[in-house]
Amino acid sequence: DTAVSQTPKYLVTQMGNDKSIKCEQNLGHDTMYWYKQDSKKFLKIMFSYNNKELIINETVPNRFSPKSPDKAHLNLHINSLELGDSAVYFCASSPGGGQDTEAFFGQGTRLTVV
């Protein structure tokens, strides 16, 4: 019954590897997001999709590629992982369209690059 679920919750990998984080929401929302929380706890938007269309792409290295196969799923693929990519990555969703409601967050994926 989890509204926004991410897998995996923890990911430890070596530099240079490629990894993916998956996100699914069962709320029927149109908009999904990826946020990054760095080691100082600062949260920043990375990407946003609305009905499978990319609408926000902040200044993120092109090693990061989001993919939305349908509006309930938004995956994040990261190529050639670097030490600085270590962070917690949050998926979130919201109804979109200017509707008055908050974003719902997944439980986060802690990525550690060694």
Partner 1 sequence: AQTVTQSQPEMSVQEAETVTLSCTYDTSESDYYLFWYKQPPSRQMILVIRQEAYKQQNATENRFSVNFQKAAKSFSLKISDSQLGDAAMYFCAYRSAWGAQKLVFGQGTRLTINP
56 phi and psi angles, rounded to 5 deg:
-130, 130
Residue 8, preceding bond cis, omega within 30 degrees?
A: yes
> Could you say whether residue 49 binds partner 1 (CB under 8 A)?
no
Burial class (CB within 10 angstroms; exposed 0-12, middle 13-18, buried 19+) of 28: exposed
Q: Between residues 86 and 108, which has the closer beta carbon with respect to partner 1?
A: 108
Q: Between residues 71 and 90, which has the closer beta carbon with respect to partner 1?
A: 90
> Could you say whether residue 12 binds partner 1 (CB under 8 A)?
no
> Could you say whether residue 48 binds partner 1 (CB under 8 A)?
yes
> Could you say whether residue 86 binds partner 1 (CB under 8 A)?
no
